[in-house]
Amino acid sequence: MKSKVLVFAGSLIAFGLLSFIPRTTTVQQPWPVPDAYKNKANPLKGNAESVTEGKALYNQHCKSCHGTKGKGDGPKASQLDTECGDFTKAAFQSQTDGTLFYKTSEGRKDMPSFKKKIPDANDIWSVINYMRTLK
C-alpha cells in the first residue's frame, strides 16, 4: 500500500513540475502573399499625421502581442502558438508595404484579421507607417 501511495505522490509531483515548463512556440512558416498585394503602394507615404494615427491604432490593437517596441514581446505573446515576429529586424522591415497590408488585413493562425476591427484601409496603412518607425 505504501508503494502505491509513493507512486501516486511521485506522479503528482512530476505533473506539478511539468506545469512550470514554459510553452514552446512554433517558428513562423512562410506566409504567402498574393502578387496583387506585394506591389500595392501605400497611399499615405508615412507622413507625420499618419504615423501618429498608426501609433494610436497599434497601441489599441497590436501592442498586447507585438509589444511596445514591436519586438514580439507583448504580454499576450507567451500565450500564442506562433512567434509574433520582431518588427525591428531587417527581415520584417524589408517586406513591402503591400505585403504588410495584406498580412494585417487578412491575418492567419494566431494573428487575427483586422479588416473588420480596422475597416478603413487608410487606418491600416497608418499602422504600417508606424511599424516602419520601429527600427
Chain Cα centroid distance, residue 55: 15
Per-residue pLDDT at 5: 46
Alpha helices in 30-110 (DSSP H): 35-38, 48-61, 63-66, 90-93, 97-106
Is 17 within a domain? Answer: no
Residue with cell 497608418: 126
- Going residue by residue through the chain, which has 135 residues, state the pLDDT in tens, using 9 for 90 and above: 555 544 444 444 444 444 444 544 555 688 999 999 999 999 998 899 999 999 999 999 999 999 999 999 999 999 999 898 899 999 999 999 999 999 999 999 999 999 999 999 999 999 999 999 999
Cell of 37: 498585394
Per-residue pLDDT at 15: 45
Is 13 within a domain? Answer: no
Per-residue pLDDT at 124: 98
Cell of 68: 511596445
- How many domains does the structure of the chain reveal? 1
Is 1 within a domain? Answer: no
Per-residue pLDDT at 46: 84
130 CB-side CA count, 13 A: 26
Smallest CA-to-CA distance from 134 within 80, 75, 76, 62 is with 62
Q: Could you give the angle at the alpha carbon of 131 between the alpha carbons of 127 and 132, nearest 5°?
A: 120
Q: What is the CATH number of the domain that holds 113?
A: 1.10.760.10
Is 3 within a domain? Answer: no
CB atoms < 10 A from the CB of 98, how many? Answer: 19
Is 28 within a domain? Answer: no
Helix or strand or coil: residue 26?
A: strand
Q: Which domain holds residue 37?
A: 33-131
Is 18 within a domain? Answer: no
Q: For residues 35 and 28, is the Cβ–Cβ distance under 8 A? A: no
Is 40 within a domain? Answer: yes
Is 105 within a domain? Answer: yes
